[in-house]
Amino acid sequence: MFGMKGSDELRFYYYWIALFVFAIDFVTKKIVETQMELYQEIKILGGFFVITSHRNKGAAFGILQEQTAFFIIITLLVVAGIVWYIQKNRHTGKPLLLIGLGLVLGGAFGNFLDRALKGEVVDFLQFTFGTYVYPIFNLADSGIVCGVALILIDSLRSIKNENGEKHESNGQDGQQPQQPAQQ
């Protein structure tokens, strides 16, 4: 099982997940960079899903344009923090947390490499919902979002489990007290 002590075959799986996200992001960005012109579009599912070659010099949704040095510093701090937190929690038996951290780590490093080498991030996944065009993103962004979702789910489960333990230890497990048998 993921996250169990002594599990040699899955040792450091969270770093393998990070490496997978980074690699698939890197390869797909290279394909877009080398095989498509900037702003070129390839319709995959009509107007709903389109591969669009785009560059982003800012953060998510194009905010904070031209702040490359800021993003590089922040990303280095985030990556260091994630590695530290993974090491701290690697024996907790919390697979959702560790998988989520691995996804975020891989995505953060994928976008970091783009910013560090080119000063911009290659985005290419575009979805349209009716008249709304969702901001173009990449697989690193997807890894980050999915990872954060898993971390949140893990946090909510931990809170629920902690609250359940508190109620049980206080005799407040939601059950009616048992009446002694009458004779």
Q: How does pLDDT run across 125-172, given as a tens digit for each residue?
A: 999 999 999 999 999 999 999 999 999 999 999 888 877 776 666 655
Burial 59-87 (b: 16+ CB within 10 A, else e): beeeeeeeebeebeeebeebbeebeebbe
User: What is the rounded distance in angstroms from the CA atom of residue 26 to the CA atom of residue 3?
Assistant: 27
Looking at the chain, how many residues does it have?
183
* Averaged pLDDT, 18-45: 97
What pLDDT does residue 3 have? 47
The C-alpha torsion from 90 through 12 and 26 to 68, rounded to 10°, is 30
**What is this structure's pTM?**
0.81
Domain-embedded: residue 169: no
Domain count, the chain: 1
- Per the structure, the complete domain to which residue 100 belongs is given by 10-155
d(C-alpha 61, C-alpha 28), whole Å:
20
Q: Please list the active-site residues.
A: 123, 141
Q: Which residue has the tokens 């040095």?
A: 69
pLDDT tens digit sequence for 56-99: 887 766 666 777 788 889 999 999 999 999 999 888 889 999 99
Residue of 12, 59, 51 whose CA lies nearest to 32: 51
Label residue 121 by pLDDT band (50, 70, 90). Answer: very high
CB 54 within 8 A of CB 125: no
**Token pair recorded at residue 167:** 């109620």
* Edge-to-edge strand ranges of the sheet holding 121-129: 41-45, 49-56, 121-129, 132-133
26 in any annotated domain: yes
Report if residue 46 sits inside a domain: yes
Q: What is the mean pLDDT of residues 170-182?
A: 57
Mean predicted confidence (pLDDT) in 34-44: 97
